[in-house]
């Protein structure tokens, strides 16, 4: 992959973004247009796309082929997997997840958007806001994606009509506001991915639009920083025991800093055991550090020899999460197998997986009407629900609204190991928070020992 980055310059930051939308809204073509117009495609890949386009009888390159790389995707004409693409401009680097539009693959949208700092949600200018548009917006809000771009695509097919664009933008803005998005966090842009209007270059066909092009917005939108300001969280992935000439009986705890910052000398607690100690070293392959921030993979050496194993969590002694064996949560159900109260599952939180029971299903969120339906009998594929989870062992969880890294978990089928749901500790969406009157915000209802 080539880049438009100027040699010798430094790309200031990284933006992680995802696309979402309904089938045939043009997501893959839009991503292909971004890659094509920023010259982020290898020459041989571009030649292959030109040849494939000629074989299809097209006079212009089919840019969606730059993204829909699987043979089954090309044959069906739809995106079925999450396609990750990387590109850069002189101003910023990008990691883009192109997610499926078909309702059957909403689970992949959850995967692609789970780490996104911004999402581009496409609608067809001829169709406007659809059921799947509202569903995707609810998923993005639930996952805490802080910024949205509504790309009103195929604006050329409605004669670049300003009235059509404004009606769609107004309707979606009201929906996003109801989902909890503040004013200024959602931008609507009229685009034509096929022609190139307002994707990278400003279009003369939309003189009435005075906002930025899509790429201009992506290059300049403030990037939400990694969660350094939240309390330190460190899930232990591996325990290192070794003897070297420099260290006798070395014991270190390897993993990635999930949130916050850790410094040498900090007093910490190992959960769920609850034993306190201090950090004596922060080791990396490049040498020791005085401190490490979120996203950094390190090995922590502690002052005392205590019982810590894979799956434990190291946190500040003064600001540790609650170790709970029962907590309220929001689930985005991703399985064809419905969820019913009393279902036995596995919960994977950080590096730990424990048996659990979904003891209560208290509400289902209707993402179309933005209301909460109490006491549903089940939770079906792609539905969002409010549950109570009881685990066999206490888990050190945070409310997702406070700490995304330690407030998220997966629900797994114990029979075959398949993923059943993406889970978030707490209420997640405003309508579900309004529904929950039995417990305080955060919902850690039964602390473990």
Q: Give per-residue pLDDT as tens, 104-126.
A: 445 567 767 777 899 999 999 99
- In this prediction, residue 131 has a pLDDT band, given cuts at 50, 70 and 90, of confident
> Dmax of the chain from CA atoms?
75
Return d(Cα 353, Cα 355) in angstroms, integer.
7
| pLDDT exceeds 80 at position 446 | no
Res. 257: pLDDT tops 60: yes
Class of the domain covering 322-447: mainly beta
Burial label for 37, CB within 10 Å (0-12, 13-18, 19+), is middle
Superfamily of domain 234-316: Translation factors (2.40.30.10)
CB-based contact 54:61 (threshold 8 Å): no
Q: Same CATH fold, 322-447 and 14-220?
A: no
Give the start-to-end residue ranges of the domains of the chain: 14-220, 234-316, 322-447
- Which residues have CB under 8 Å from 58's CB, separation 6+? none
Q: In the prediction, which pLDDT does 71 show?
A: 35
State percent of the chain over pLDDT 70. 78
CA distance 52 to 311: 48
Q: What is the pLDDT of residues 424-441, one digit of tens each?
A: 998 766 655 554 443 333
Who's near 40: CB < 8 A, 6+ residues apart? 1, 2, 3, 4, 34, 85, 86, 87, 88
| 14-220 maps to CATH 3.40.190.10 | no
Residue 185's beta-bridge partner residues?
none
Least confident of 151-155, 382-386, 445-449: 445-449
What's the whole-model pTM score? 0.77
């Amino acid at each position: 992959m080539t880049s438009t980055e100027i040699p010798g310059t430094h790309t200031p930051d990284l933006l992680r973004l995802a696309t979402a939308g309904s089938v045939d809204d043009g997501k893959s073509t839009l991503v292909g247009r971004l890659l094509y117009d920023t010259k982020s495609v290898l020459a041989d890949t571009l030649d292959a796309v030109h040849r494939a386009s000629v074989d299809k009888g097209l006079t212009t390159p089919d840019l969606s082929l730059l993204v829909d790389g699987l043979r089954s995707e090309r044959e069906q004409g739809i995106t079925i997997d999450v396609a990750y693409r990387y590109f850069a401009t002189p101003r910023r680097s990008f990691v883009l997840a192109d997610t499926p539009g078909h309702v059957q693959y909403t689970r992949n949208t959850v995967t692609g958007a789970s780490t996104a700092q911004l999402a581009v949600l496409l609608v067809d200018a001829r169709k406007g806001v659809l059921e799947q548009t509202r569903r995707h917006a609810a998923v993005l809000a639930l996952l805490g994606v802080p910024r949205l771009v509504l790309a009103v695509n195929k604006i050329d097919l409605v004669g670049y009509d300003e009235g059509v664009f404004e009606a769609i933008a107004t309707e979606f803005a009201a929906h996003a506001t109801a989902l909890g998005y503040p004013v200024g966090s959602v931008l609507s842009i009229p685009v034509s991915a096929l022609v190139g209007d307002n994707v990278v270059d400003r279009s003369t066909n939309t003189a009435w639009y005075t906002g930025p092009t899509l790429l201009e917005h992506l290059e300049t939108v403030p990037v939400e920083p990694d969660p350094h300001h939240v309390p330190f969280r460190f899930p232990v992935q591996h325990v290192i025991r070794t003897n070297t000439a420099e260290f006798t009986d070395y014991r270190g705890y390897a993993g990635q800093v999930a949130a916050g910052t850790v410094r040498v000398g900090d007093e910490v607690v190992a959960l769920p055991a609850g034993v306190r100690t201090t950090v004596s070293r922060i080791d990396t392959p490049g040498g020791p550090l005085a401190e490490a921030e979120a996203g950094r993979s390190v090995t922590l050496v502690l002052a005392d020899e205590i019982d810590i194993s894979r799956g434990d969590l190291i946190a500040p002694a003064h600001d540790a999460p609650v170790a709970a064996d029962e907590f309220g949560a929001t689930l985005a159900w991703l399985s064809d197998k419905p969820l019913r109260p009393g279902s036995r599952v596995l919960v994977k939180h950080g590096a730990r997986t424990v048996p659990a029971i979904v003891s209560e299903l208290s509400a289902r969120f209707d993402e179309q009407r933005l209301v909460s339906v109490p006491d549903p009998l089940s939770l079906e594929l792609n539905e969002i629900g409010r549950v109570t989870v009881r685990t066999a062992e206490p888990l050190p969880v945070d409310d997702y609204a406070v700490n995304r890294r330690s407030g998220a978990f997966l629900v797994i089928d114990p029979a075959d190991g398949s993923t059943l749901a993406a889970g978030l500790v707490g209420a997640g969406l405003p309508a579900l928070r309004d529904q929950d009157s039995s417990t305080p915000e955060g919902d850690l209802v039964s602390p473990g020992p």
